Structure 1
Amino acid sequence: MKICFVMYPWNKVEPEKDTTMRLIKECTDRGFEVSYLTTSDISISKGSVIGKCRKLIFTETEDCVEFYHTMQFETAIKNLTDFDMIFMRSDPPVDPLLLNMLEMIEDQVFFVNKPSGLRKANNKIYAASFDDGKESIVPQTLITRDIDLIKEFVEENKFDKFIIKPLDGMGGKGVVLFQANDIGNLSAIADFYINHAGKPQPIICQNYIEGAEKGDVRAIVINGEPIGAIMRVPAKGDHRSNISAGGSAVKHDLTEHEMDLCRQMGKRLVKDGIFFTGIDLINGKMVELNVVSPGGIVPHNNVNGNLDIQKQIVSMLLETYEEFK
């Protein structure tokens, strides 16, 4: 089997904690031919989607860090339809032009995740579409460029606390927590987020879910089925639980409610071609959906005694690939 990873540059990988590296190594351990390329390596020539692909020439080793550091590559221009499976693992947000290119071949190659699905789900608007106004799945959410509308939203719903965050943020960056009585300070921060790019950008305002100060749950969902989770605990003095923001991971067994919520969302995700997802939960509600380059494998393995969840991930995705064929 030939597998290609569309990812960030190799020299940007942090092998001690990188999820993509665990997936790559699992694929090579199974004897698959594995290549990688970056988003800037993809082109269209004579109606075909091609890429400057780097095939991995690796040393047999059990250690993933050594695997990374001893890697060598064989570079060639390839038609991307020569691959059986393409893993989309670039950092969000995804370039719409790249999605346009890859959508040309998504019926010919099995993508994790499908370009058309990423177009729908690679931003926080998709996650907000699960808001039913009753907080059954997600906290009440407003996406807007209008600061006055944010104030009205907070006051009408009588939020004690709320957060605002950029639409294209990742890793907890840019998440600001407000007390309702601090709403007078909202304008300056919201104005910065809305106008910092030179033209007005939407931002997210969301009800603060009680219990967030204790951390959140990152559920790993494959083919719509939750297969593992960790609890991410914020660093002292920080409201963000993201591990990249200093949070730490502890073992967590998903509750029946959390399992049901993930499966409920999973049905729609799979229908949209999203087979590998990280769903973040607080107090039984989804607060973040990660579809472009979901992480969490290394902390999951660490807190669960090196269960190597990447083996289950790849096995389940191979089952879906067989259905795709």
Structure 2
Amino acid sequence: MYAWDKVEPSKDSTLRIIKECVSRGFEVSYLTKHDISIAKGKVVGKVKKLISQETTDAVEFYNTMQFETSLRDFTEFDMVFMRADPPVDTLLLNMLELIEDKVFFVNKISGLRKANNKIYAASFDDGKETIVPQTLITKDIDLIKSFVEENKFDKFIIKPLDGMGGKGVVLFESNNVGNLSAICDFYINHTGYPQPIICQNYIEGAEKGDVRAIVVNGEPIGAIMRIPAEGDHRSNISAGGSAISHELDDYELELCRKIGKQLIDDGIYFCGIDLINYKMVELNVVSPGGIVPHNKVNNNQEIQKQIVDMLLDKYKEFKK
């Protein structure tokens, strides 16, 4: 995961998962990607074992935490949660993939390699917008212009391939694209070498917000509606959006389950699926959040309990 001092305890989903596991009597340790090594042919980590005080309050749980540091073989652990923020470190995946058949990873390392970016979500594009809006991923600015013109988009989105939390998402209208080339050129070339970016049809209703569905083992188990802050088209909570309760209707449930079948096949057991107007616009497979706002708008229902229950069921299958 990210460093402990980067945790925002009042709203951090990872902390809720940790606290739930501790409350069940599990030994829990954490480490960052910088703490992982290979020694004597084994994948090892300098882990910090959590020693906590008994408390029901998550903020107090965080603030009173103490740690014991040791070097541990990863295969000594039963379950490893991958909770570092994107983009994923490919060297880290290379190291952990050596042991993915020996340890239950949430999510599976080979699955993260396949699905950790927005390219995976774009693979659901059938050109008919059955599951996702029409999507182009490219480094070619002329191709973006042609894509927009040929499909007669009234509005469209440009965003970086490795963005998160709504960062870098730019909304364009077809009759006002004067700075399209400049924006695309910046995103493509800002690192010093060309990077592909995403151009996507704007789904009507996005200005009203999106639905974040929490999907575990291919099954949608809860959702919130995220409402953009005034004057902003992004509904991400981290971008200033707010959350209200949302009950998935039959079509949304079926859509999530359809996507969930592919997720299970790829070893993605815990995922956030973002929906707008019955279209999937994004998948968060690396570090899905939304637990705290979900609990808050659903009368403090602690969805992390159900998440851990379902992942333990999957762990039992893995051990057979």
Indicate whether the TM-score tops 0.5.
yes
Cα deviations by residue, 1:220-251 (Å, 9 ceiling, x for unpaired): 00000000000000000000000000000000
- Answering whether residue 69 of structure 2 is matched by residue 75 of structure 1, we say yes
Identity of aligned residues (%): 78
- Displacement after TM superposition at 1:142 (Å): 0.1
Cα deviations by residue, 1:191-215 (Å, 9 ceiling, x for unpaired): 0000100001100000000000000
- Displacement after TM superposition at 1:99 (Å): 0.2
- Answering whether residue 195 of structure 2 is matched by residue 201 of structure 1, we say yes
- Displacement after TM superposition at 1:184 (Å): 2.9
Matched to 1:120, the amino acid is K
Report if the CA contact (8 A) 1:44-1:50 is conserved.
Answer: yes
- For residue 5 of structure 2, the aligned residue among 11, 16, 20 is 11
Report if the CA contact (8 A) 1:51-1:80 is conserved.
Answer: yes
Report if the CA contact (8 A) 1:121-1:291 is conserved.
Answer: yes
- Answering whether residue 44 of structure 2 is matched by residue 40 of structure 1, we say no
Q: Distance in 2 between matches of 1:135 and 1:192?
A: 28
Alignment correspondent of 1:228:
222
- For residue 295 of structure 1, the aligned residue among 286, 289, 300 is 289
Alignment correspondent of 2:241:
247
Q: Distance in 2 between matches of 1:14 and 1:163?
A: 30
Extract unaligned runs of 5+ from structure 1. Answer: 1-6
Matched to 2:50, the amino acid is L
**Aligned to 1:117, what secondary structure does the other structure show?**
helix
Cα deviations by residue, 1:48-79 (Å, 9 ceiling, x for unpaired): 00000100011000000000000000000000
Report if the CA contact (8 A) 1:233-1:248 is conserved.
Answer: yes
Matched to 2:177, the amino acid is I
Alignment correspondent of 2:138:
144
- Answering whether residue 147 of structure 2 is matched by residue 153 of structure 1, we say yes
Alignment correspondent of 2:18:
24
Q: Distance in 2 between matches of 1:35 and 1:193?
A: 37
Alignment correspondent of 1:261:
255
Report if the CA contact (8 A) 1:81-1:109 is conserved.
Answer: yes
Cα deviations by residue, 1:277-300 (Å, 9 ceiling, x for unpaired): 000000000001000000000000
Extract unaligned runs of 5+ from structure 2. Answer: none
- For residue 167 of structure 2, the aligned residue among 145, 166, 173 is 173
- Displacement after TM superposition at 1:182 (Å): 1.5
Matched to 1:36, the amino acid is Y
Cα deviations by residue, 1:164-219 (Å, 9 ceiling, x for unpaired): 00000000000000000122321011100001000011000000000000000000
Matched to 2:201, the amino acid is N
Q: Distance in 2 between matches of 1:225 and 1:295?
A: 16
Alignment correspondent of 1:105:
99
Cα deviations by residue, 1:73-111 (Å, 9 ceiling, x for unpaired): 000000000000000000101100000000000000000
**Aligned to 1:89, what secondary structure does the other structure show?**
coil
Alignment correspondent of 1:3:
none
Alignment correspondent of 1:115:
109
Q: How many residues align?
A: 319
Alignment correspondent of 1:59:
53
Report if the CA contact (8 A) 1:151-1:183 is conserved.
Answer: no
